[in-house]
């Protein structure tokens, strides 16, 4: 009998998702003769009446270079903690995973490919433990999954932030301003660190190194005295001061179990304005980092991940996540992939490189 493979994309969107879908569909159909169905809007599409459509070779034609995901996504559809509205208007979190299992059987799925970050892969592991044949594909611009050397979408995000820093340098210098640029990354500082080095930032603040504002002010004051009348400060959204805390727009309890970070850039800018006496501006790049066409590197990596996911299904190697290890794409247990975040080493070579280049990390 022809296998039916289901694929979904969960969590935040990311450049390269369509390349994964294309890689899975082309490999499944051309190499194995399987049928592929795409689940719409992440795990939301498996709750209630299932929402899905068949993916053919024609369905994935021309999508390699497109950003986003043709299947749609959601970062709120955790079936093990699903938000439903009660009669009184309040929201209750309930377990609807049984619906997901029933819908996968209804669709006739012989295997499920879940493409997503830490949250999506934890759901995938829980489904695998309940008997669903699952393969995971790591996706996050934050690059915070330890089991793979890198995740697709990350290089594109770094490229976008670096281009923004290049543009901001000219206006900062023209107006003798300090410009604070807040970037994504959650609890990992990779985007801020690599784009800050590539974009010639003067200060980089990351979650892994709690900062002291007086040291940042001293460093930027020294720049002014040396004749540099402008500064560029890159701040990861999860950065926080010594003896302080992260700035949150919403707590996890009020946002379907996921805290929403944001606002640290404005807080840092306000303090810099006070201590430097220099006109300060804030730029929050936000979802610009997620959008647009993936870089060639991410198109290739995502395509390799999609092909390898299909190969793991053919080998019945379920409960695995595809991962880049050195030059090879292989499979690793999903459980080990989500056990620990990939975070910047405060004493590592990249941070030492930045400090040798006179970048201040607030320490």
Specify the DSSP class assigned to residue 51: -
Nearest 5°: the CA angle 138, 194, 154 is: 20
Q: Which of 13, 118, 142, 202 is catalytic?
A: 142
Measure Cα distances from 320 to 110, 138, 172, 317 in Å.
15, 11, 47, 6
- 163's enclosing H/E stretch is helix 154-175
Strand, coil or helix: what is 85? strand
Nearest 5°: the CA angle 209, 207, 145 is: 120
Q: Is 253 exposed, middle or buried (0-12, 13-18, 19+ CB in 10 A)?
A: exposed
Q: Is 70 exposed, middle or buried (0-12, 13-18, 19+ CB in 10 A)?
A: middle
Q: Is 187 a catalytic residue?
A: no
d(CA 48, CA 50) in angstroms, rounded, equals: 6
Nearest 5°: the CA angle 98, 69, 254 is: 55
User: What pairs with residue 142 in β-bridges?
Assistant: none
d(CA 150, CA 301) in angstroms, rounded, equals: 9
Q: Which residues contact 114 (CB under 8 A, 6 or more apart)?
A: 7, 8, 10, 120, 121, 123, 124, 127, 134, 135, 136, 137
Residue 72 tokens read as 């749609």
Smallest Cα–Cα separation from 179: which of 191, 196, 194, 193?
196
Catalytic residues: 142
């Amino acid at each position: 009998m022809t296998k039916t493979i289901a694929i979904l994309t969960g969590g935040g969107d990311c450049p390269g998702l369509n390349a994964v879908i294309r890689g899975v569909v082309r490999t499944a159909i051309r190499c194995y003769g399987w049928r592929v169905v795409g689940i719409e809007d992440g795990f939301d599409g498996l709750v209630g009446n299932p929402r899905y459509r068949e993916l053919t070779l024609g369905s994935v034609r021309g999508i390699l270079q497109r950003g986003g995901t043709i299947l749609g996504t959601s970062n709120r559809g955790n079936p093990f903690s699903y938000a439903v509205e009660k009669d009184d208007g309040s929201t209750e979190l309930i377990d609807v995973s049984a619906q997901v299992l029933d819908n996968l059987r209804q669709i006739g799925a012989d295997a499920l490919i879940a493409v997503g970050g830490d949250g999506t892969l934890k759901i995938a592991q829980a489904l695998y433990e309940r008997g669903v044949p699952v393969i995971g594909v790591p996706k996050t611009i934050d690059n915070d999954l330890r089991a793979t050397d890198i995740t697709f979408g990350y290089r594109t995000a770094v490229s976008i932030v670096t281009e923004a820093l290049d543009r901001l340098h000219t206006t900062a210098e023209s107006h003798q301003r300090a410009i604070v640029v807040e970037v994504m990354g959650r609890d990992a500082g990779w985007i801020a660190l690599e784009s800050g080095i590539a974009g010639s930032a003067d200060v980089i603040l990351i979650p892994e190194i709690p900062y002291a504002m007086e040291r940042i002010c001293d460093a930027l004051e020294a720049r002014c005295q040396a004749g540099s009348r402008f500064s560029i400060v890159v701040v990861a959204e999860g950065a926080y001061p010594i003896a302080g805390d992260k700035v949150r727009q919403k707590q996890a309890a009020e946002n379907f179990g996921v805290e929403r970070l944001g606002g640290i850039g404005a807080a840092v800018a306000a303090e810099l304005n006070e201590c430097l006496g220099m006109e300060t501006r804030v730029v929050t790049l936000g979802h610009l980092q997620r959008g647009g066409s993936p870089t060639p590197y991410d198109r290739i990596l995502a395509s390799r991940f999609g092909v390898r996911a299909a190969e793991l299904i053919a080998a019945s190697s379920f409960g695995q996540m595809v991962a880049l290890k050195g030059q090879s794409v292989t499979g690793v247990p999903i459980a080990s992939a989500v056990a620990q975040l990939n975070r910047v080493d405060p004493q590592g070579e990249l941070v030492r490189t930045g400090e040798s280049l006179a970048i201040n990390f607030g320490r």
